[in-house]
Amino acid sequence: MMLDDFMTRAALAGIGTALAAAPLGCFVVWRRMAYFGDATAHAAILGVALSLAFSLPVFAGAMAVALVMATIVSTISGRGYAMDTLLGVMAHSALAFGLVGVTFLSGVRIDLMAYLFGDILSVSRADLAVIWCGAALVIALIVWRWNALLTATLNEGLARAAGIDPWRERLVLTLALALVVAVAIKVVGVLLITALLIIPAATVRPLSATPERMGVLAALVAMASALAGLLASYRLDTPTGPTIVCVAALLFCLSSTLSGTRRPSM
């Protein structure tokens, strides 16, 4: 069958992850939430350690801890610490505790590099189902709340006047971000998830006249990066996750060169 081919499974995993990450990445860029995404992604390693310790699915553990981390950061932000300082402390602390926790798991064999940098070539049918179900949930959330999310992103005062609760929309973004982290951990790993969120959105930002166009173009760039990076890593025998991010970075450089000094519309 077609899915018996590991390259086909890897390509489908890359496309699913790209479809989930890129539109959400637009909101990450618009809201300047790069550090927020980093903290959430780094926390996923602690979720991996807890999942293995309690014999739970890695997806569930990574998503749960990422969601908890995102919620904590949202709750305690603005309480005496600058946001970048708070996110730096939370991100690296969660990553360190996760890495230390893995060493205490006796009798459990774990390829830590696969979780840090991804291992898309080992994606199974079950992983593929998880990735596409997670991607579908993220896309459904974004489509359902698109207008409200956009209004709250542009102006919270305007959102309140329109009867939209900005805190609720942040919660939707938090949930979507946790889902993307759990989906992408197998493809690009926790250290590169934020790059997959931000780079495609940043690439198309100068070329997009509307938010909707930016979301669609970001998804196309992310998918192209995933497929081209997968092919390049196969031909050049390089790590797949980092290669995907390298392709995305090259596309960003090309976009920046073509757009010149033109200012983005969002």
pTM listed for this prediction: 0.83
What topology is assigned to 2-192 in CATH?
Answer: ABC transporter involved in vitamin B12 uptake, BtuC (1.10.3470)
pLDDT at 1: 43
What are the residue boundaries of the structural domains of the chain, listed by start? 2-192
Residues in the chain predicted with pLDDT less than 70, given as ranges, are: 1-4, 74, 76-84, 106-111, 260-266
The whole-angstrom separation of Cα 182 and Cα 58 is 8
**236-256 residue pLDDT tens:** 989 888 999 999 999 999 988
Question: Which tokens belong to 266?
Answer: 């969002």
Instruction: Look at residue 3 in the predicted model and tell me its pLDDT.
Output: 47
Q: Which of 177, 59, 64, 55 is nearest to 124 (CA)?
A: 59
pLDDT tens per residue, range 108-145: 666 677 778 888 888 888 888 888 998 999 999 999 98
Q: Residue 56: its pLDDT value, please? A: 81
